[in-house]
Amino acid sequence: MSRVPSLSSPFLLGFDEIERVLDRVAKGADGYPPYNIERLPREDNNPERLRITLAVAGFTRDQLDVSVEESQLVIRGRQQDDKTRQYLHRGIAARQFQRTFVLADGMEVMGADLKHGLLSVDLVRPQPERVVRSIAINDLE
């Protein structure tokens, strides 16, 4: 069965790359770690922004990596097993993860904080500019 592209409208031209990115992100999402995305209002000197908060209990700052790669926010966590410990029961596994968020053009990462097992990444939402450009019509006669 073939998949009908979601951006197949004849009025949406040139969005093939966006559709490929959406497909890649959807395939890579396994649900771990859980996260929230919230909109924070403008306050003091801070503009309106978005905050992504991931539950990363058990990870230290050194085991986490936040980067922007090709218009995608990539958050990675790497834990290694402590071979010196002998567990009678192990319900908390050392695991690795990679969580990817597609960023719109102009989105900027303000910074990241780790507090009480929660990793928060703040993003600045760009102010959209209204661009109107007149196109000249050539007379071919």
CATH number of the domain residue 49 falls in: 2.60.40.790
In a domain, 135, yes or no: no
In a domain, 12, yes or no: no
- Whole domain around residue 48: which residue ranges? 31-83+93-125
In a domain, 2, yes or no: no
pTM of the model: 0.71
In a domain, 9, yes or no: no
In a domain, 50, yes or no: yes
Q: What is the mean pLDDT of residues 101-116?
A: 92
In percent, the amount of the chain with pLDDT more than 90 equals 43
Sheet holding 97-102, edge to edge: 64-69, 72-77, 97-102
Sheet holding 108-115, edge to edge: 35-40, 49-55, 118-124, 108-115
Which residue did the predictor score with more confidence, 8 or 69? Answer: 69
pLDDT band, residue 47 (cuts 50/70/90): confident
Lowest-pLDDT choice from 7-11, 68-72, 119-123: 7-11
Q: Nearest 5 degrees, angle CA 5-CA 28-CA 62? A: 145
Q: Which residues pair with 38 in a beta bridge?
A: 51
Number of H helices, E strands in the chain: 1, 7
The pLDDT of residue 29: 62
In a domain, 60, yes or no: yes
Number of domains in the chain: 1
E strands, the chain, are 35-40, 49-55, 64-69, 72-77, 97-102, 108-115, 118-124
In a domain, 112, yes or no: yes
